[in-house]
Structure formats: C-alpha cells, structure tokens
Amino acid sequence: MDCIFPHEVEALEMLAGLRPRTSDAWIKLCLENLSREGLCTEGPNYRLTQAGKAYLTLVIGSLQPES
C-alpha cells in the first residue's frame, strides 16, 4: 500500500460516518485513489471495505463517533 495522505484519511472518515460528507473535487480524487488501494469500493457509491475499516482503526483508534 502506498502512503495515505491526510485528505485520504478524511475521506475514509466520511465513508465511516465520522465526519459529514462533502462533494468537493478533492474528495472524489481521494476516493478514486482509495478504491485502487482496496480501502473502499469503486464509485459512484463508494463504501468502506474491511481493509479500509482496519486501516482507519489503526490510524485513529476507533470507528465510533465521538459523543
């Protein structure tokens, strides 16, 4: 797996429901890169894969939204 950039982590967090979704152009680019890495499914309906969930858990520690 190549280096994951902070914006790509934000995109994964959006897919996990940890931050609000946006439709900015940079998000689409990040999601395309992440789908090539197997961290999310291909668009247009991007979904977090098990690998994406595991990566996010490793990076941020939990997939539970803060209350």
**What's the confidence (pLDDT) of residue 3?**
72
Domain map (residue ranges) of the chain: 6-60
Mean pLDDT per block of 10 residues along the chain (67 residues) reads 83 94 91 96 95 92 69
Looking at residue 62, its pLDDT comes to: 74
Question: Distance (Å, rounded) from C-alpha 26 to C-alpha 62?
Answer: 24
The pTM of the full predicted model, rounded to 2 decimals, is: 0.85
Give the model's pLDDT for residue 23.
86
Q: The tokens of 12 are what? A: 């994964």
How many angstroms separate the CA atoms of 21 and 31, rounded? Answer: 12
